[in-house]
Structure 1
Amino acid sequence: MSDEKTLIIDGHADILYRMEKEGLRFYEDKSNLHLNYDRIVQAGIDLQFFVLFAEPKYSPAEQLKMHLSMIEQFNAEVVGGGKIRPVLKKGDLERNMAAGYRSGLLSIEGGDCIQSDLRILHTMYRLGVRAMGMTWNQGNCIADGCGERVDRGLTDFGREVVREMNRLGMIVDVAHLGQKGFWDLIEIAQAPVIASHANARKIHDHPRNLTDDQLRALFKTGGLVGITFVPMFVGVGTVSIDDLMRHVDHVLELGGEDHLGIGSDFDGIERTLTDLRHGGDLPNFQERLLKTYGEAVMKKIMGGNFKRVIDSILKE
């Protein structure tokens, strides 16, 4: 293996949600966060997506208030701690790394907070949000999630949101989106599309996983799927990296070498893989990728593919 450091990007983690809900501190050594600062360092993560998530029991207006609180916490504590800098435009990741900092990128999980008002989307962009998942499992003003009985696809407003995100330079995320909404979005997208945290439905039939046709469609946009460590999306019962590798194998067999990344969903899950319990275990997965596929493919999956997508979407 070469001496050059492997760039590592994790496209989905609910660190801010747990900090807000449980009063946890990002820089405390004894924090039980899956991805506190020390564990991000142990994982070797250069860029971490920090997700803004609020439970669906809250109204869209309440979710917006909670998201704003998490953005303040990100700026005051995570960035304010002096060791992580935000990624707001193309080139920020490289600049942060050159200056000795790790990076964070804000992402919304479920666009309920937009409340059918593009001005809120613009405001979130100005506050540093650079990615958004259209839905969580339920429906909202943009589309229906994969947990709804009726799937109406993208709403007219949802189509406006996708077009505006493409114009602004925001990453469009289809994780949790219903099937019809997925295909509606693929039809109109003018930039690469990601599924930040999902696995292959062919390997494990779960509504949150993607079919082979969906995976190929993401590849065609130039986007990617972030392989996720959520046990219920990996397999049945107790699961490990062995089970996760079956999903990696399948995505690669479909032609996904340039379209596979990582979306751990750490801190958004209570149960973990037996050998991927938190960020400190990520080197276990990296080593397995290296031994199985070689250095070039490992580096693409660990962060190279995600960087390409980010660079193709974010503005200068």
Structure 2
Amino acid sequence: MPDKDHAPLPAQTIVVNALGTLDNPNLLLAPGGIDRSKLAYGNSAGAVDERSLADARAAGLSAVNVTLGHVAGSDDPFEATVRDIATWDALIRQNPAALRKVFTATDILDAQAQGQVGVIYGFQNTEMLGGDLDRIRLFADLGVRIIQLTYNGRNHVADGATVADDRGLSPFGVDVITRLQREGVLVDLSHSSTATCLEALDIATRPLAITHSGCRARADHPRNKSDAELRRLAENGGVIGIYSMPYLRTQGQPQAADLISHIEHALEVCGEDHVGIGTDGCVSAIDDMPAYRRHLAAEIETRRQLGIGAPGETAEVVLFLPDLCGVSQFARLAELLAARGHGDARIAKILGGNFVRLFNETLTPRFPA
């Protein structure tokens, strides 16, 4: 599905994908290609190649929050996470002209200026902490900048979006949030339950993020956020990244118009200083759609077996927007927003400016690893 028909973004445009990947999905689809079963769940470092790096820069991507470490599965969460960090550190060292490890917002600006892509290390679970708060400092010193409290289910910190009897934060979870903010790590409330989200916002002393979600008022799905959560996030000074996932609709295949609808609702509830993008996807286009659909069906079955699937997941709905994908996705999004009457300054905030501001307010500098 090549997609290079739109004019690129101006060179100075900052684009921050608050949750995404740098992998080339086609490496997972080709016969004899990468065996995803040999990678930790969520690990995409093994699928990054010259094409995916070139596509990221061609798309105008300045920085992306990539998921590192344990999300689900049988591997020891701590050991798998440390291995994954080492893998990404090696990948960045091997590609100094293309990649820059992000410690602060300044690294994003420097990456943009030097034609690199900033790699923001993030977690989508906290199981790698075990019950040890001191591991937060360890991971922060290793360069982890964003930590999501929970995936869809319940862990020792909090309840996720698909937990039926929503109990919110645990006492340990309260301590985790306090320590994360003390160490200058951004707390991510994506995948959280409603109670978890609101309780975390109530105790936070710094702005928080929802890196990849949608608006429940536009699609009533547990992975999306209610207006109460969105409003409280904005009052806290945080930012939501709107994703390009199936949950933009409750039925059928979402398209670009659905993304625009969610963005505009978030703008109405939160204000233009608190809305960004977190596609939860890659930049490189899919070359072989039949192979992709077979892979997607297997992935959905894996998620079901791991107990981390969300309602309505089906191989009939792809994990990207068919009319807003590939290297032109960010430029095309800017065009669509402009056609709806949004001005250049607002579009710049949505594409990346708001998350740069948030990172500047929340991330404590660390020495490069």
- TM-score (normalizing by structure 1): 0.89
Partner SS, residue 125 of structure 1: helix
Q: How far 1:218 sits from its partner (Å)? A: 0.3
Cα contact 2:122–2:145 (8 A) shared by 1: yes
Q: 1:198 to 1:3 in 2, by over 3 A?
A: closer
Amino acid aligned to 2:48: F
Partner SS, residue 191 of structure 1: coil
What are the superposed Cα offsets for residues 44-81 of structure 1, whole Å, 9 maximum, x if unpaired? 0111111125343336xx12222222212211113421
Q: How far 1:186 sits from its partner (Å)? A: 0.9
Specify which of 69, 72, 87 is matched with residue 73 of structure 1.
Answer: 87
1:284: which partner in 2? 332
Q: How far 1:256 sits from its partner (Å)? A: 2.2
**Distance (Å, rounded) in 1 between the aligned partners of 2:62 and 2:170:** 36
1:306: which partner in 2? 355
Q: How far 1:116 sits from its partner (Å)? A: 1.4
1:8: which partner in 2? 15
Q: How far 1:234 sits from its partner (Å)? A: 3.9
2:72: which partner in 1? 56
Matched, 1:26 2:41: no
What are the superposed Cα offsets for residues 161-213 of structure 1, whole Å, 9 maximum, x if unpaired? 11111111111100111111112111110111111101100000000101111
What are the superposed Cα offsets for residues 217-242 of structure 1, whole Å, 9 maximum, x if unpaired? 00001101101000233452122101
Q: How far 1:15 sits from its partner (Å)? A: 4.5
1:174: which partner in 2? 189
**Distance (Å, rounded) in 1 between the aligned partners of 2:123 and 2:115:** 27
Specify which of 22, 44, 53 is matched with residue 60 of structure 2.
Answer: 44
Cα contact 1:134–1:143 (8 A) shared by 2: yes
Cα contact 2:230–2:270 (8 A) shared by 1: no
Specify which of 205, 216, 226 is matched with residue 201 of structure 1.
Answer: 216
Specify which of 147, 165, 173 is matched with residue 132 of structure 1.
Answer: 147
Amino acid aligned to 2:159: D
Q: How far 1:124 sits from its partner (Å)? A: 0.9
**Distance (Å, rounded) in 2 between the aligned partners of 1:264 and 1:313:** 22
User: Mind listing any 5+ residue stretches in structure 1 that lack a counterpart?
Assistant: 30-35
**Distance (Å, rounded) in 2 between the aligned partners of 1:179 and 1:247:** 18
Amino acid aligned to 1:70: D
Q: 1:95 to 1:174 in 2, by over 3 A?
A: same
**Distance (Å, rounded) in 2 between the aligned partners of 1:163 and 1:118:** 10
2:31: which partner in 1? none
Q: How far 1:275 sits from its partner (Å)? A: 1.3
User: Mind listing any 5+ residue stretches in structure 2 that lack a counterpart?
Assistant: 1-8, 29-35, 283-298, 301-317
Report percent identity of matched pairs: 28
Specify which of 227, 232, 239 is matched with residue 217 of structure 1.
Answer: 232
**Distance (Å, rounded) in 2 between the aligned partners of 1:106 and 1:7:** 18
Cα contact 1:227–1:260 (8 A) shared by 2: yes
Matched, 1:248 2:263: yes
User: How many residues matched?
Assistant: 308
**Distance (Å, rounded) in 2 between the aligned partners of 1:182 and 1:157:** 15
**Distance (Å, rounded) in 2 between the aligned partners of 1:55 and 1:131:** 14
Q: 1:24 to 1:73 in 2, by over 3 A?
A: same
2:322: which partner in 1? 274
Amino acid aligned to 1:28: E
Partner SS, residue 50 of structure 2: coil
Cα contact 1:138–1:144 (8 A) shared by 2: yes
Q: 1:15 to 1:47 in 2, by over 3 A?
A: closer
1:32: which partner in 2? none
Cα contact 1:289–1:298 (8 A) shared by 2: yes
**Distance (Å, rounded) in 1 between the aligned partners of 2:270 and 2:330:** 24
Q: 1:14 to 1:23 in 2, by over 3 A?
A: closer
Cα contact 1:15–1:51 (8 A) shared by 2: no
Q: Looking at CA atoms only, which structure, 1 or 2, has the larger radius of gyration?
A: 2
